[in-house]
Structure 1
Amino acid sequence: MIRGNYSLAKEVRKNEQKHKQKLQQKQKNAHLNKTLQDVNPVQLYYQIERLENSTDLDHHQKKRLEKLRSDWAFIRKNKLHKEKIDELLKRIEKDKLAKEKEENRLKGKESIYFNPELNPLGMVPTMSDAVNGLSSRLPNASKPLKHRTVYQPDPIIAQLNIQPPNGSPPQFYKQVQNTVLTSFTSTIQGLPPPSSNKRKHSTINSDDKNHDESDGPNNFDSTDDER
Structure 2
Amino acid sequence: MNKAPTAADHPADQREEASARPRNRRGQGLLLREEIIRAATALIVRTGSDQAVTLRSVAREVGIAAPSIYAHFPDRDAIVEAVVVEAITQLQQTIGAAVAAHDDPVEALLAGCAAYVDFGVREPARYRVLFGWARPKPEAPADDASGRQGLDAFQMLVDSVDACVRAGRSSSTDPFGDAVALWTALHGQVTLRADLPGFPWPPTDTVEQMARRLGRINP
Higher share of residues assigned helix:
2
TM over 0.5: no
TM-score, normalization: structure 1? Answer: 0.24
TM-score, normalization: structure 2? Answer: 0.25
Please say which structure displays the higher CA radius of gyration. 1
Higher relative contact order (CA 8 A, sep 6+): 2
